[in-house]
Amino acid sequence: MTTTLSLRGNQLRCDIRPDLGGCLAGLWWGDVPVLRSTPAQALTTVRQAGCYPLVPYSNRVGQAQLKWAGTSHPLVQNNAAEPHAIHGVGWQRPWEVLEADAQFALLSYEHKPDASWPFAFDTSQAFRLHDDELELTLSITNQSPQAAPVGLGWHPYFVKRPGSHLRFAASGRWEMGADKLPTQRLPSTGLDQACAALDVDHCFDGWNGQAVLSDAELRIRLASSLNRLVVFTHPTRDTVAVEPVSHVNNAVNLLGQAGMTAEALGLTVLLPGTSMSATMAIRVEAV
């Protein structure tokens, strides 16, 4: 059943589709789209949404094989012909509406172990709209009887308009192989450049939780409690994905390789009954 929620402020408004992965169908400043935006009732696939949650991991699990505690768990290859599992399970499951009003919504999803993820968890998303800012909180609780690897993040697609420019600071960038999996970490200061010719699909770490995307119409300030950022765009795309995430791509399978630690990779291990939360805020102003 199609479920739509609309939050409204003075200038900022957003549409949410709980039934389509708990996604943001769209975010607008007046009539100007901030994210890739479709009115909620017209959205037919989460793949065209403005933003969706990444839970219980972000980006890819290589070859759709989760290696954990001495056991290999085959996962569902959930991105067409690509051999990996990608972006967790929350974005492809319906969420329940727990609370909603004109400027706030709270959603939840309860996961039972299945072929997509072998550990039980509960997760919730909160959306709070202010006049010039949308605040999001994403939380997860491990409901399995054993310690489990988890990660959180968001996948917002910002509109790439003429003059779009992205700026953020970081300390490292994970290089990508032809298989779209990370190969090595190299020093990086982040990005400060125009988006039109930008060709990037990398995870940056040492991020300070602040990024600015600006063009001739809007200045968008992205802030997060997370300290890694995946950026994806190339010259033929009309969006720039700027994704706050908690861990490096394929982190769970990189653990232990060449001395890579959970801390270095950003991988969180939750004991049974324990929780993790993250925040993201999108602040918008007219230029």
Angle in degrees, CA 249, 251, 252, rounded to 5: 135
* pTM for the structure as a whole: 0.97
**Domain covering 5-286, topology:** Beta-galactosidase; Chain A, domain 5 (2.70.98)
The candidate with the shortest Cα–Cα distance to 38, out of 54, 22, 14, 12, is: 14
pLDDT at 11: 94
* Region 186-198 average pLDDT: 97
Question: β-pairing, 85-86 with 228-233?
Answer: unpaired
Instruction: Give the Å distances, CA to CA, from 175 to 122, 211, 229, 259.
Output: 33, 20, 13, 17
pLDDT digits (tens, 9 = 90+) for 71-129: 999 999 998 889 999 999 999 999 999 999 999 999 999 999 999 999 999 999 999 99
Question: β-pairing, 23-29 with 32-33?
Answer: antiparallel
pLDDT digits (tens, 9 = 90+) for 52-62: 999 999 999 99
According to DSSP H, which parts of 67-212 are helical? none
Tell me the DSSP string of 126-167. EEEE-SSEEEEEEEEEE-SSS-EEE--EE--EEE--TT-EEE
User: Whole-angstrom Cα distance, residue 26 to residue 6?
Assistant: 10
Angle in degrees, CA 207, 212, 217, rounded to 5: 165
| Exposure string for 1-12, b = 16+ CB within 10 A, e = fewer | eebbbbbebeeb
Listed by start position, the domains of the chain span: 5-286
Position 199 pLDDT exceeds 90 = yes
Q: Do the beta carbons of residue 52 and residue 36 sit within 8 Å?
A: no
Place of tokens 């993201």: 280
* Region 194-214 average pLDDT: 97
* Region 63-68 average pLDDT: 95
CA R_g for the chain: 18
Q: What is residue 71's DSSP assignment?
A: E
Token output for 85:
């599992």
Instruction: Give the Å distances, CA to CA, from 275 to 52, 78, 161, 186, 264.
Output: 20, 26, 38, 31, 20
